[in-house]
């Protein structure tokens, strides 16, 4: 194949405890999946099917990244999330079989230009510029199911400059991981390499240049980035 310019490397995240990489196919995100966060966003956290938005695969960036404050925002927010890494292809996956499709789990930040999101919501427009921008998906190494098993509960926290900002437990998710996979696979063929950001607990807030973020999900890594 003769490409008209050099092909970019496939975006990838590390696989914890190995020299291997997990090549990223797509990034899907679930909106408002913790009741307290849905309320802080002015929504009513009713039990209903999850809703999805996406980010480009090359929005991933690794542990330790130093990220420039993004373009076009004056209200840049942090969201800490449990990330599910998919390892098997499927459509119409039932919730009872969904965990068979999981390769592993990681810690991610769904970085958000909240001002652009607010405007998009008001005008009924897509969230692409609010959510799918450059470097908007920092992600830790993926821990394989063989290493950590499946995660049903565990603390999820985010600190900025050492100060606790977000705190919850992944057992508080409105839609569980199997329900999310089942629903997502009714809209898209899920594929090895897909990452699913599963929603954030309450306490989201603004970031500024110089801020150091540390996110943690119990039994997984810490994810640390700096805004420059
Ligand atoms: Mn989110």
| pLDDT tens, residue by residue, 49-61 | 899 999 999 999 9
Determine the structural domain holding residue 135 and report its residue range: 18-227
In a domain, residue 2? The reply is no
Cα-Cα end-to-end distance for the chain: 39
Is 13 a member of any domain? no
Distance 46 CA to ligand 1 centre (A): 17
Ligand 1 centroid distance, CA of 133 (Å): 14
> What is the whole-number distance in angstroms between the Cα of residue 16 and the centre of ligand 1?
23
Residue 108 CA to ligand 1 center (angstroms) comes to: 9
Residue 73 covered by a domain: yes
Whole-prediction pTM: 0.97
Question: How far does the centroid of ligand 1 lie from the alpha carbon of residue 90, in Å?
Answer: 24
Q: How far is the CA of 112 from the centre of ligand 1 (A)?
A: 8
79-98 as b/e: b if 16+ CB within 10 A = bbbbbbbbbeebeebeeeeb
Expressed in angstroms and rounded, the spacing between residue 1 Cα and the centre of ligand 1 is 38
The answer to whether 109 touches 78, Cβ cutoff 8 Å, is yes
Please, what is the Cα angle at 35 between 34 and 38, to 5 degrees?
Answer: 85
Taking only the tens place, the pLDDT of each residue in 70-109 is: 999 999 999 999 999 999 999 999 999 999 999 999 999 9
Tell me if 116 is assigned to some domain: yes
Q: How far apart are CA 94 and CA 99, in angstroms?
A: 10
pLDDT above 90 covers a percentage of the chain that reads: 94
The pLDDT, as a whole number, for residue 45 is 81
- d(CA 196, ligand 1 centre) in Å: 10
Q: Is residue 10 part of a domain?
A: no
Does residue 23 fall inside a structural domain? Answer: yes
CATH number for the domain harbouring residue 153: 3.90.850.10
CA of 7 to the centre of ligand 1 (A): 30
Span from the CA of 177 to the centroid of ligand 1 (angstroms): 14
Q: Please report the pLDDT score of residue 92 as a whole number.
A: 98
Total residue length of the chain: 228
> What is the pLDDT at residue 1?
85
For residue 185, tell me if it sits in a domain. Answer: yes
pLDDT for position 47:
75
Q: What is the total count of domains within the chain?
A: 1
**Centroid of ligand 1 to alpha carbon of 6 (angstroms):** 33
Ligand 1 geometric centre to CA of 9 (Å): 26
* Ligand 1 centroid distance, CA of 3 (Å): 36
72 lies in a domain? Answer: yes
**Which range is least confidently modeled, 40-44, 135-139, 148-152?**
40-44
């Amino acid at each position: 194949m003769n490409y008209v310019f050099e092909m970019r490397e496939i975006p990838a995240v590390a696989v914890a405890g190995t020299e291997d990489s997990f090549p990223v196919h797509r990034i899907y995100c679930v909106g408002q999946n913790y009741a307290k966060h849905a309320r802080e966003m002015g929504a009513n956290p009713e039990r209903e099917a999850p809703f999805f938005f996406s980010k480009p695969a090359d929005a991933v960036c690794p542990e330790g990244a130093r990220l420039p404050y993004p373009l076009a925002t004056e209200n840049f927010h942090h969201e800490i999330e449990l990330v599910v890494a998919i390892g098997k292809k499927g459509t119409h996956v039932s919730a009872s079989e969904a965990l068979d499709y999981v390769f592993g789990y990681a810690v991610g930040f769904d970085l958000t230009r909240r001002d652009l999101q607010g405007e998009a919501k008001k005008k009924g427009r897509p969230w692409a510029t609010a959510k799918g921008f450059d470097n908007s998906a920092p992600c830790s190494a993926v821990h394989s199911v063989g290493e950590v098993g499946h995660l049903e509960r565990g603390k999820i926290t985010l600190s900025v400059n050492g100060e606790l900002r977000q705190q919850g437990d992944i057992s508080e998710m409105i839609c569980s991981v199997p329900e999310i996979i089942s629903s997502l696979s009714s809209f898209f063929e899920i594929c090895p390499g897909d990452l699913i950001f599963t929603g954030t607990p309450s306490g989201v807030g603004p970031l500024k240049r110089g801020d150091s973020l540390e996110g943690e999900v119990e039994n997984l890594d810490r994810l640390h980035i700096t805004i420059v």
